[in-house]
């Protein structure tokens, strides 16, 4: 036993640990690594000498050596972490800057044109058209409860009409009670509830915003998109008014040679309901591939507020009537700018972003 190659193991371990503790920089650590735990380490030499031992003693000695190596390696990693922290702390310290001392006029600011996003630009243009027509603008939250997104809009739980919207559910509360809004229509409900609570009808508002549907992204769909919704609640409002507002908007936004038409549709929250189409902006109505030779492109949905919706928010349908409409902001942008792939909107390539003014 006296000739065991591991006789000095404890001593060598202590020395290695001391050497590790003495390392003061990450560079020094990297340089010393080979001689501490690597090929040039005394532990590696001892490992080689084990081969000469008898099998029985080799096993115990091997285990001892393993343990020593573990201790040294752990110490080295801890030291490395300490030195990293220290290096970051000291580089942060060197970097330290009291931003209150910054003198703005000293900052060099090269002049360059910036660009708004295509969606916000389009949204602003749409808002401007509607503001010009006498509408106010309202915002609403992106996470909604089942009540606002569905129930108050006359879509009860488990109703087959829910299949019209592929919904992202949020993991809060009872299952399927909290959703990422699938349309901007919940903002209608908020507006009407508020107007009833504050006795401030009528309402003439548009509600732009981001919506979410569980659609696999492709050239024409993203899981998040933007809609603008319109709501009018007033005395004596008719379907003719709805058709008139849609037509006025269409001409104001797309140009005088583009018109609109309505055809029957179904939405649980409006009755009568309609889809509205506009003259195909590519072929100007002549018929082309984009419009399947019909000369018309489907833009959005609309209709007279369903009495069930008025009842849900406590508006007296004998005194008040109204309409709602909604369509995609991104879709308008797509139509106007011949955007061939919607995914460009979220890829944020500056060559794409730098085109809008």
Partner 1 sequence: MKVSLNWLREFVDLPETIDDLRTVLDDLGLVVEGIANVGHGLEDVVVARVDEIRDIQGADRIRLVVVDAGHGPLEIVCGAMNFAVGDHVPLAPVGAVLPGGFTIGERTVRGVTSHGMLCSPRELELNDDHQGLMVLDGLIEPHVGERLLAALKITPDVVFDISVEGNRPDAWCVEGVARDLATRLRRTLRSPAGASTNSATKSDSFASASIDDPDLCGRLTVSVLRNVKVTASPSWVAQRLQNAGMRPISNVVDASNLVMLELGQPTHPYDAARVARHTLRARRARPGETLVTLDGVERQLAKSGRGLGDTGEDLVIVDGDDRVLGLAGIMGGASSEISADTTDVLLEAAFFDPMTIARSSKRHALRSEASNRFERGVDPQLALRAAARYAAILSESVPEVQWLANPIDVHGTIPIPPTVELRGTDIARLLGVEIAPEDVTAILSGLGFSLVQKRDHVQVTAPTSRLDVRAGSEGRADVIEEIARLYSYRRLPRHNPSWPELGVLNDRQRLRRKLRDVVVDAGALEVWTATLGSDADFDLLHRDQPRVRVTNPLAADESVLRATQITGVVRAWAKNYERGLGDVILAEFGVVFAHPSVTSEPRMTKGGAGGTLTLALPRENERVTIVLGRPDDDAKSAVALWSVLARRLGLQDVVVRSVNEAPRGLHPTRAAGLVDRSSGALLGYVGEVDAELVDAVTTGSPLRRLGLLDIDFDALADARLATRVPSAVMMPSRFPSAVLDLALVTPQRVNADDMAYALRQASDLVEEVTLFDVYQGPGLAEGTRSLAYNVRLSSSDRTLNENEVTRCRAQLIDAAASLGAVLR
Binding to partner 1, residues 280-299 (CB under 8 A): 294
CB of 315 to partner 1, least distance (A): 12
CB of 270 to partner 1, least distance (A): 9
CB of 307 to partner 1, least distance (A): 4
> For residue 138, what is the DSSP state?
-
Site for partner 1 in 63-122 (CB under 8 A): 92-93, 95-117, 119-120
Q: Do 148 and 229 touch, CB atoms closer than 8 A?
A: no
CB of 285 to partner 1, least distance (A): 14
Indicate which single residue of 41, 79, 135, 182 sits in contact with partner 1 (rule: CB under 8 A).
135
Indicate which single residue of 32, 231, 304, 324 sits in contact with partner 1 (rule: CB under 8 A).
304
CB of 48 to partner 1, least distance (A): 37
Q: Which range touches partner 1 (CB under 8 A), out of 26-34, 36-44, 69-77, 154-162?
A: 154-162
Tell me whether residue 38 or residue 354 sits nearer to partner 1 (CB atom). 354
Q: Which range touches partner 1 (CB under 8 A), out of 7-15, 17-25, 79-87, 144-152?
A: 144-152
Q: How far apart are CA 220 and CA 37, in angstroms?
A: 58
CB of 300 to partner 1, least distance (A): 15
Cα–Cα nearest to 127, from 55, 193, 184, 75: 184
227 lies in the site for partner 1, by CB under 8 A: no
Which residues share a beta bridge with 207? 229
- The H or E element spanning position 72 is helix 55-95
Tell me whether residue 199 or residue 349 sits nearer to partner 1 (CB atom). 349
Indicate which single residue of 73, 142, 252, 288 sits in contact with partner 1 (rule: CB under 8 A).
142
137 lies in the site for partner 1, by CB under 8 A: yes
Site for partner 1 in 308-337 (CB under 8 A): 308, 317, 321
Q: How far apart are CA 345 and CA 84, in angstroms?
A: 40
| Residue the block writes with tokens 């919706």 | 309
Q: Which range touches partner 1 (CB under 8 A), out of 7-15, 43-51, 69-77, 125-133?
A: 125-133
Concatenating the DSSP letter of every residue in 258-318 gives --EEEEE--BTTEEEEEEEEEE-TTTTTS--TTTTTSSEEEEEEEEEEPHHHHHHHT--TT
CA–CA distances in Å: residue 52 to residues 1, 4, 42, 57: 13, 10, 17, 10
198 lies in the site for partner 1, by CB under 8 A: no
Q: Which range touches partner 1 (CB under 8 A), out of 5-13, 67-75, 142-150, 335-343?
A: 142-150
Number of residues that bind partner 1 (CB under 8 A): 115
Q: Which two tokens stand for residue 109?
A: 């600011």
Concatenating the DSSP letter of every residue in 171-197 gives SSSSTTSEEE-SSSHHHHHHHHHHHHH
Site for partner 1 in 244-283 (CB under 8 A): 244-245, 247-248, 261-266, 268, 271-275
Q: Do 315 and 232 touch, CB atoms closer than 8 A?
A: no
Q: Do 162 and 150 touch, CB atoms closer than 8 A?
A: yes
Tell me whether residue 61 or residue 249 sits nearer to partner 1 (CB atom). 249
CB of 322 to partner 1, least distance (A): 10
- Residue 283 phi/psi, 5-degree rounding, is -100, 0
State the CB neighbour count (10 A cutoff) for residue 145: 18
Q: How far apart are CA 155 and CA 285, in angstroms?
A: 36
Indicate which single residue of 22, 45, 173, 257 sits in contact with partner 1 (rule: CB under 8 A).
173
> For residue 221, what is the DSSP state?
B
Tell me whether residue 188 or residue 321 sits nearer to partner 1 (CB atom). 321
Q: How far apart are CA 19 and CA 16, in angstroms?
A: 5
Tell me whether residue 265 or residue 285 sits nearer to partner 1 (CB atom). 265
């Amino acid at each position: 036993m006296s000739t065991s190659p591991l006789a000095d193991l404890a001593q060598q371990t202590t020395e290695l640990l001391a050497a590790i503790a003495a390392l003061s920089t990450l560079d020094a650590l990297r340089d010393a690594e080979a001689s501490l735990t690597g090929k040039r380490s005394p532990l590696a030499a001892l490992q080689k000498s084990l081969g000469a031992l008898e099998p029985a003693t080799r096993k115990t000695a091997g285990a001892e050596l393993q343990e020593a190596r573990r201790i040294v390696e752990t110490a080295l990693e801890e030291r490395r972490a300490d030195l990293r922290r220290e290096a970051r702390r000291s580089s942060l310290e060197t970097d330290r800057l009291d931003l209150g001392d910054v003198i703005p006029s000293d900052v060099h600011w090269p002049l360059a044109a910036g660009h708004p996003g295509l969606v916000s630009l389009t949204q602003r243009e749409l808002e401007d058209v509607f503001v010009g027509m006498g509408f106010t603008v309202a915002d609403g939250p992106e996470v909604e409860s089942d009540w606002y997104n569905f129930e108050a809009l006359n879509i009860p739980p488990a109703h087959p009409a829910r299949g019209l919207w592929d919904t992202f559910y949020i993991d809060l509360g009872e299952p399927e009670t909290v959703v990422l809004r699938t349309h901007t229509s919940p903002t209608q409900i908020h507006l009407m509830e508020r107007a009833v609570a504050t006795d401030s009808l009528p309402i003439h508002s548009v509600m732009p915003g981001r919506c979410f549907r569980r659609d696999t992204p492709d050239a024409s769909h993203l899981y998040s998109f933007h809609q603008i919704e319109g709501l009018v609640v007033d005395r004596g409002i008719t379907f003719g008014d709805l058709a008139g507002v849609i037509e006025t908007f269409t001409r104001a936004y797309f140009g005088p040679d583009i018109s609109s038409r309505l055809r029957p549709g179904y939405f649980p929250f409006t009755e009568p309901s309609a889809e509205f189409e506009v003259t195909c902006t590519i072929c100007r109505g002549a018929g082309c591939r984009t419009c399947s030779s019909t000369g018309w492109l489907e833009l959005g949905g609309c209709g007279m507020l369903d009495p069930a919706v008025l009842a849900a928010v406590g508006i007296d349908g004998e005194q008040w009537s109204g309409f709602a409409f909604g369509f995609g902001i991104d879709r308008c942008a797509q139509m106007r700018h011949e955007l061939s792939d919607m995914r460009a909107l979220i890829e944020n390539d500056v060559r794409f972003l730098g085109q809008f003014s």
